[in-house]
A and B are shown apart, each in its own frame.
Chain A
Amino acid sequence: MNVTCEQFRDRILELAYGELDSSTATGLRDHADRCSACRDELHRIERTRQLAAMLPEEVIPTHFDADILQLAARTAETAAAKTNRTAAEPGIAGRLLPFILQPRIAALSLAAAVLVGLVWTVNHRSPREAMFGPGGAPFEGAVIREVETPSRNEAPDITASPVQKAGADLRDADPTLPMLPRGRRFSPPRSDRPQPSESIPVPSPVTTDAAGATNPVDDLIYDAEPSVSAKKALMPPPSTARAKSTASGGGSTLPLASAADASPAPTMEMAEQESPQTPLGEAISLYRAGNCRDAVPLFQSIVTGGPIAERPASLHYMARCDRRSGRCGQALLLYEQLLRDYRAYPDRSEALHEAASCHRRLGHDDRARELLMELSDDPDWSARARAEMAEIAP
Chain B
Amino acid sequence: MFQSGNAGAFEELFKRYKGPIFTFLIRRCGNRDTASELTQEVFTRVIHRGGTFAHQSRFSTWIYTIARNAAVDHARSSRHRQHASLDQTGDDQQALSERIPGNLPLPDRGTEAASLRDALATAIDRLPEDQREVFILREYHGMPFQEIAQVVDAKVGTVKSRMRYALESLRRELEPWEDIARSPQ
Query: Which A residues have a C-beta under 8 Å from some C-beta of B?
Result: 13-14, 17, 19, 44-45, 47-52, 54-61, 63-65, 67-69, 71-73, 75-77, 79-80, 83, 304, 329-330, 332-333, 366-367, 370
Which residue, of A13, A44, A75, A366, has the highest number of chain B Cβ atoms within 10 A?
A366
Residues in chain B near residue A80, CB distance under 8 A: 5
Report if B14 contacts A (CB, 8 A). yes
Of B41, B48, B101, the residue contacting A75 (CB under 8 A) is: B48
Residues in chain B near residue A64, CB distance under 8 A: 36, 39-40
17 pairs of residues in contact across A and B, judged by CB atoms under 8 Å: A13-B160, A47-B181, A51-B174, A54-B117, A56-B101, A61-B39, A65-B14, A68-B14, A69-B11, A72-B43, A76-B6, A77-B7, A80-B5, A304-B48, A333-B44, A366-B85, A367-B81
Q: Mark B74-93, 1 if CB is under 8 A from A, else 0.
A: 00010001001100001000
Cβ contact within 8 Å between A13 and B163: yes
Cβ contact within 8 Å between A47 and B178: yes
What number of B residues sit within 8 Å (CB to CB) of A?
A: 55
Cβ contact within 8 Å between A56 and B36: no
Cβ contact within 8 Å between B113 and A54: yes
Cβ contact within 8 Å between A58 and B40: no
Residues in chain A near residue B48, CB distance under 8 A: 75, 304
**Nearest-CB distance from A67 to chain B (Å)?**
7
C-alpha gap A46/B170 in the complex (Å): 12
Which residue, of B6, B7, B116, B180, has the highest number of chain A Cβ atoms within 10 A?
B7
Cβ contact within 8 Å between B22 and A48: no
Residues in chain B near residue A367, CB distance under 8 A: 77, 81
Report if B177 contacts A (CB, 8 A). yes
C-alpha gap A180/B148 in the complex (Å): 57
Report if B54 contacts A (CB, 8 A). no
Question: Residue of B at shortest CB range from A45?
Answer: B167
Residues in chain A near residue B10, CB distance under 8 A: 69, 72, 76
Question: Residue of B at shortest CB range from A369?
Answer: B84
Report if B144 contacts A (CB, 8 A). yes
Report if B138 contacts A (CB, 8 A). yes
Report if B120 contacts A (CB, 8 A). yes
Q: If A13-B160, A56-B101 touch, does A49 touch B47 (CB 8 Å cutoff)?
A: no
Interface set, chain B 1-33, CB cutoff 8 A to A: 2, 4-7, 10-11, 14, 18-19, 22-23, 26-27, 32
Cβ contact within 8 Å between B5 and A68: no
18 more contacts with CB within 8 A, not counting A50-B181, A72-B14, are: A13-B160, A17-B145, A47-B178, A48-B171, A54-B120, A55-B121, A55-B124, A58-B23, A60-B23, A63-B36, A65-B14, A65-B18, A67-B40, A69-B14, A80-B5, A83-B5, A333-B40, A366-B90
The 9 closest A-B pairs by CB, nearest first: A79-B5, A76-B7, A50-B181, A76-B5, A47-B181, A72-B10, A366-B81, A73-B7, A48-B171
Residues in chain A near residue B47, CB distance under 8 A: 68, 71-72, 75
Q: If A49-B139, A51-B177 touch, does A366 touch B84 (CB 8 Å cutoff)?
A: yes
C-alpha gap A19/B19 in the complex (Å): 24
C-alpha gap A330/B36 in the complex (Å): 11
Cβ contact within 8 Å between A58 and B120: no
Q: If A13-B160, A72-B11 touch, does A52 touch B139 (CB 8 Å cutoff)?
A: yes
Residues in chain A near residue B19, CB distance under 8 A: 60
**Nearest-CB distance from B82 to chain A (Å)?**
9
Cβ contact within 8 Å between B44 and A68: yes
Question: Residue of B at shortest CB range from A71?
Answer: B47
Cβ contact within 8 Å between A68 and B177: no
Of B11, B104, B170, the residue contacting A52 (CB under 8 A) is: B170
C-alpha gap A15/B5 in the complex (Å): 41
C-alpha gap A73/B43 in the complex (Å): 13
C-alpha gap A71/B43 in the complex (Å): 10
C-alpha gap A253/B182 in the complex (Å): 64
C-alpha gap A64/B43 in the complex (Å): 10
C-alpha gap A71/B47 in the complex (Å): 8
